[in-house]
Amino acid sequence: MNTKKKNTILIFDMKLVLAQELANILENHTDYEVIVDEDDTLDDIIKYEEVIKQADNIVLLVGQDTNILGTENILEKVSEIQKMNKNTRGILCSDINDPSFIAEVIKEGAFDYIMLPFDFEEVVQKVKKAFDTPETQTKIKVNRRSIVSKTIKEIFDIVKLTRKNLGDDHVLVKNVIARGCAESFLYFQTYENMGQLQNILEKAAGLKMKKEIKPTVLSIEDEAPLRDIVDGFLEDDYTMLFAEDGKTALEQLKKHPRISIVLLDIVLPDILGIDLLPKIKEINKEALVIVLTAYKDIEYAITTMRNGAYCFLNKPFTQKTLLYNVKEAEHMYYYHKIFPLLIQELKKKLL
């Protein structure tokens, strides 16, 4: 006998009138349990602990106003609920119509995004998709938060186990244990402090990683003037390679395995960027892909991120914006590839 699964929708941090309208739509068009948090805050998640634990699946609809800076806190709360019930998907509801911002939300762990004012058919469709999508397909391939958090926790656990032998004056104890795991995550996730962490790990492991003078960036762009602009923006800090179509891009990737960052235009003469993305990953799975596009399509941004892009950047862009995103991708490349090697050596030496 098949027992019907209990699917629960929690609506948080949303103006009450809007939340109730949303709840009415879902109650009238689905058979899901719908709970509205009338306190208009995410601070009291603990009071729903039993509901969260007893549900087979949870979809969390979270409101967000135009204050983009508040998003990180919201996604942390989504993460808190996921600890109570791993079958939780968070959907952010906002009036921010910016694909780059939405791509960032997906990268940080949200399952989907709903634009306000919402269309009821879209709401029902997205919630149903969130419930129906298998867990193996809910996690994007590059999640900055989870990669950095995993790295810091692994370092923290090693140091905790060996602290007695290391002594309180050891570089790792002073720089990691003294801060605590949570503070270390916040401190070492920034690009400026990432180099400091590498130096600390190298010193503790007794190993000096060979560092490229300039990381290699592949720019895939069919328009020569735009290739020249990108080259001018980045050539001082990076070794630049170029491709005007998908075929040439794949050849470049095979020829230059040290490519760490790819700038990918969406529309190419022989293939769409979204279709080229998995082919790039087949050749170089560790390269981080920044999608560049003039098309401000929210669903395209979401799909691109789920297919493994690192971030989504709208054209036209300034040198400062491009350089910031490339630097952040370079930062993640270290967490994704360089730091695991250092941690491996650290384990050999200390454990």
Give the chain's domain count: 3
| pLDDT above 70 as % of the chain | 89
Same domain, 328 and 346: no
Same domain, 123 and 69: yes
Same domain, 194 and 293: no
DSSP secondary structure of 159-170: HHHHHHHH-TTS
Evaluate whether residue 73 is within a structural domain.
yes
Give the pLDDT score at 191. 65
Q: What is d(CA 98, CA 173) in angstroms, rounded to the nearest whole number?
A: 42
Q: What is d(CA 268, CA 291) in angstroms, rounded to the nearest whole number?
A: 12
Same domain, 131 and 20: yes
Residues in the chain, pLDDT under 50: 1-2, 66-70
- What is the gyration radius of the CA atoms in the chain, in angstroms? 22
Evaluate whether residue 1 is within a structural domain.
no
Residue 201 has φ and ψ, to the nearest 5°, of -65, -40
Evaluate whether residue 2 is within a structural domain.
no
Give the pLDDT score at 66. 40
Q: 220-234: buried (b, 16+ CB within 10 Å) or exposed (e) per residue?
A: bbbeeebbebbeebb
Q: Please say which residue of 84, 107, 137 terminates a domain.
A: 137
Classify 145 in phi/psi space as left (phi over 0), alpha (psi -120 to 50) or beta: alpha
Q: Please say which residue of 91, 113, 137 terminates a domain.
A: 137
Evaluate whether residue 238 is within a structural domain.
yes
Same domain, 344 and 315: no
Give the pLDDT score at 271. 96
Q: Please say which residue of 107, 137, 167 terminates a domain.
A: 137
Evaluate whether residue 255 is within a structural domain.
yes
Per-residue pLDDT of 220-269, as tens digits, reads 999 999 999 999 999 999 999 999 999 999 999 999 999 999 999 999 99
Evaluate whether residue 277 is within a structural domain.
yes
Evaluate whether residue 287 is within a structural domain.
yes
CB atoms within 10 A of CB 201: 24
Give the pLDDT score at 261. 95
303 burial via Cβ count (<10 Å: 0-12, 13-18, 19+): middle
Per-residue pLDDT of 11-46, as tens digits, reads 987 888 888 999 999 998 899 999 998 775 555 677
Give the pLDDT score at 101. 85
Q: What is d(CA 155, CA 346) in angstroms, rounded to the nearest whole number?
A: 9
Q: Give the CATH number of the domain where residue 126 resides.
A: 3.40.50.2300
Same domain, 126 and 189: no
Of 216, 212, 197, residue with least CA distance to 342:
197
Same domain, 20 and 132: yes
Give the pLDDT score at 241. 97
Same domain, 295 and 153: no
Same domain, 264 and 292: yes
CA atoms within 13 A on the CB side of 119: 4
Check if the beta carbon of residue 48 is closer than 8 Å to that of residue 38.
no
Check if the beta carbon of residue 227 is closer than 8 Å to that of residue 242.
yes
Q: What is d(CA 348, CA 343) in angstroms, rounded to the nearest whole number?
A: 9
Evaluate whether residue 256 is within a structural domain.
yes
Q: Is 248 helix (H, G, I), strand (E, B) or coil?
A: helix
Same domain, 196 and 345: yes
Tokens encoding 150: 């995993």
Q: Provide the residue range defining the domain that includes 89.
A: 7-137
Same domain, 191 and 313: no
Please report which helix (H) or strand (E) contains residue 20, including its range.
Answer: helix 16-29
Q: What is d(CA 267, CA 182) in angstroms, rounded to the nearest whole number?
A: 41
Same domain, 160 and 61: no
Please report which helix (H) or strand (E) contains residue 290, including its range.
Answer: strand 288-293
